[in-house]
């Protein structure tokens, strides 16, 4: 199953949208027109296996125009057969860095990037069973929410970078492409994976830029749809200018997560 969207197709100005794609929840808000919002340059793509064993989500926040986000989505869709082989393989976690680095570094893709106006941040998260992998170019943010992590003030997976992009200005044109990637084991029990664009963090006077505020807004007994609507309505009430997009899903991990040997 796959789904994609780019803000240039439908902008959600003054409008809150919360939807679900087989357990993957998507929240979108295009910004408040009274604050000057007049375009939406966010974009996303989600893939998941028929059995639900794995999920892949790609989130983008483009600059100047949405053309760079559209290019990334179109290019990945054109490579979907090979991508699905990687995602379904027995050694996916060993192959993901190599696959996406090779894809974005290819001559064909880099030449296509020179034909678009602007550039985009790009965040990719893959979850399979009790593990997740992420790949980040730019300033979109990924979180793993769980009570055992929050008690140590551990929320984010990646560190946002403000001078990395894919597009006209392209990190993969550098002699040494700059991006971050990593892996994380899920904790036992209920885990929540969250991806968002900077419009969520910058709106409402930066309220959700404090990770504990985001944790409290999402990790509770309310439905995911209710919580996403609450966050986006908070932004709308504060007349947020920038577009805001979130992708979230939960994983109930029945496996025992790693703990120190003296606590067993």
Q: Is residue 262 in some structural domain?
A: no
Domains contained in the chain, number: 1
To the question of pTM greater than 0.95 for the whole model, the response is: yes
Q: Is residue 229 in some structural domain?
A: yes
Please say whether the beta carbons of 4 and 21 come within 8 A: no
Q: Is residue 263 in some structural domain?
A: no
Would you write out the chain's pLDDT as a tens digit for each of its 264 residues? 789 999 999 999 999 999 999 999 999 999 999 999 999 999 999 999 988 899 999 999 999 999 999 999 999 999 999 999 999 999 999 999 999 999 999 999 999 999 999 999 999 999 999 999 999 999 999 999 999 999 999 999 999 999 999 999 999 999 999 999 999 999 999 999 999 999 999 999 999 999 999 999 999 999 999 999 999 999 999 999 999 999 999 999 999 999 888 876
Q: What CATH number does residue 117 fall under?
A: 3.60.40.10
Range of the domain at 125: 2-255
Q: Is residue 19 in some structural domain?
A: yes
Q: Is residue 261 in some structural domain?
A: no
């Amino acid at each position: 199953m796959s789904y994609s969207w780019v803000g240039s197709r439908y902008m959600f100005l003054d409008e809150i949208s919360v939807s679900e794609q087989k357990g993957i929840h998507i929240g979108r808000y295009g910004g408040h027109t009274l604050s000057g919002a007049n375009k939406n340059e966010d974009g996303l793509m989600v893939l998941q296996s028929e059995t639900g064993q794995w999920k892949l989500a790609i989130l983008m926040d483009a600059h100047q125009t949405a053309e760079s986000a559209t290019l990334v989505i179109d290019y990945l869709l054109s490579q979907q057969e090979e991508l699905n082989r990687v995602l379904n393989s027995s050694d996916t976690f060993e192959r993901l860095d190599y696959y996406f680095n090779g894809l974005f570094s290819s001559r064909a893709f880099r030449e296509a990037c020179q034909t678009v106006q602007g550039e985009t941040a790009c965040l990719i998260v893959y979850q399979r069973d009790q593990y997740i992998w992420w790949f980040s170019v730019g300033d979109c943010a990924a979180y793993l929410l769980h009570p055992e992590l929050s008690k140590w003030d551990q929320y984010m997976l990646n560190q946002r970078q403000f001078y990395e992009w894919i597009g006209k200005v392209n990190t993969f044109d550098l002699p040494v492409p700059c991006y971050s990637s990593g892996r994380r084991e899920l904790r036992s029990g209920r885990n929540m994976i969250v991806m968002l664009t900077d419009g969520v963090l910058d709106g409402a006077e930066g309220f959700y830029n404090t990770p504990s505020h985001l944790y409290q807004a999402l990790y509770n007994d309310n439905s995911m749809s209710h919580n996403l609507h609450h966050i986006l309505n908070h932004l709308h009430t504060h007349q947020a200018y920038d577009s805001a997009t979130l992708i979230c899903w939960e994983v109930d991990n029945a496996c025992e997560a790693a703990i120190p040997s003296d606590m067993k």
